[in-house]
Chain A
Amino acid sequence: GDSVTQMEGPVTLSEEAFLTINCTYTATGYPSLFWYVQYPGEGLQLLLKATKADDKGSNKGFEATYRKETTSFHLEKGSVQVSDSAVYFCALFRQGAQKLVFGQGTRLTINP
């Protein structure tokens, strides 16, 4: 079945460091891929998305490129801020299944 695997957390970085959170997926067909962010005590917010191979999603300095050849959708940011501290979830959505499949989440802490 469909699945998403994220790098193990927690991840702790200093402010202005470069961030990469790895995400790989297994799915039939051509799913859409998403990154969601969850701040403490809150629900999920869509961070960015890509709907087909080679698409790049970007928002708030974060980027991720849909790589079909490696079945990956790694999240990157060139210079992180303390306010980026949150849990990040990679997810896929396959139209036929009509539901999101989430990775396990990666907790990110940015120290000043």
Chain B
Amino acid sequence: GAVVSQHPSWVICKSGTSVKIECRSLDFQATTMFWYRQFPKQSLMLMATSNEGSKATYEQGVEKDKFLINHASLTLSTLTVTSAHPEDSSFYICSASDGGNSPLHFGNGTRLTVT
């Protein structure tokens, strides 16, 4: 089945630094990738939707200058958390779609801890 690889699975960084998270579709071309954020014991909150080669569409309330999303190829999207602060600590999950009616495929998530 379709596989989405997310890296790293966990990262600890100091306040003020930037962190990049990668999301790759391994056996299909992902025309659309989605980035979610999940707080402890809560549901997934969609942050943004990105289509290959175009700017990401951010959900209301998500700072696009803080959460930079790049979808440079049909198999790779990156989320960069810039100038991270402790309140950015969370579980970030990506998903990818090949544009058809197939369900979205999810990565295993990245746990970010900002100290």
Contact = CB atoms under 8 A, between A and B. Distances in A.
Interface of A: 32, 34, 36, 41-46, 49, 51, 89, 93, 95, 98-100, 102-105, 107
A51 B101 contact: yes
Contacts of A95: 101
Contacts of A46: 103, 105-106
Interface in B20-36: 32, 34
Nearest to A6: B43
Quick one: which of A42, A44, A45, A103 has the most chain B CB within 10 A?
A: A44
Contact of B34 (A41, A49, A99, A103): A99
A93 B104 contact: yes
B108 interface: yes
A102 B103 contact: no
Nearest to A39: B108
Main secondary structure on chain B at its contact with chain A? strand
Given A43-B109, A89-B44, A105-B43, A98 B32 contact: yes
Contact of B41 (A36, A89, A107): A107
B106 A43 contact: yes
B19 interface: no
B93 A44 contact: yes
Interface residues of B, number: 21
19 contacts: A32-B103, A34-B103, A42-B108, A43-B6, A44-B106, A45-B106, A46-B106, A51-B101, A93-B103, A95-B101, A99-B34, A99-B49, A100-B34, A100-B46, A100-B95, A100-B104, A104-B42, A104-B43, A105-B43
Contacts of A44: 44, 93, 95, 106
B93 to A, nearest CB: 5
A43 B93 CA distance: 7
Contacts of B49: 98-99
Contacts of B32: 98
B109 A42 contact: yes
A42 to B, nearest CB: 5
Contacts of B109: 41-43
